[in-house]
Amino acid sequence: MTQAQQAAIEGWYTMDQDQPALLGSRCESCGTYSFPAQYSFCRNPDCESTAFSETPLSRKGKVWSYTNASYQPPEPYVAAEPFVPFAIAAVALEHEQMTVLGQVVSGVGVDDLQVGMEMELVLEPLYSDEEGDKLIWKWRPAA
Among 13, 20, 34, 139, binds another protein (CB under 8 A): 34
Residues 70-129, interacting with another protein (CB under 8 A): 70-71, 73-77, 86, 88, 90, 95-103, 110, 114-116, 126
H or E stretch covering 125 = strand 118-129
Q: Is 110 helix (H, G, I), strand (E, B) or coil?
A: helix
Q: Looking at beta carbons only, is 5 or 134 nearer to another protein?
A: 134
Q: Is 22 helix (H, G, I), strand (E, B) or coil?
A: strand
Return phi, psi of residue 111, to 5°: -65, -20
What is the nearest approach in angstroms of another protein to the Cβ of residue 29?
9
Among 68, 125, 128, 141, binds another protein (CB under 8 A): 68
Residue burial 62-82, b: 16+ Cβ < 10 Å; e: rest: bbeebeeeeeeeeeeeeeeee
Q: Could you say which DSSP state residue 40 is in?
A: S
> Interface with another protein includes 36 (CB under 8 A)?
yes
Q: Which residues bind another protein (CB under 8 A)?
A: 8-10, 12, 27, 30-36, 43-47, 64-71, 73-77, 86, 88, 90, 95-103, 110, 114-116, 126, 136
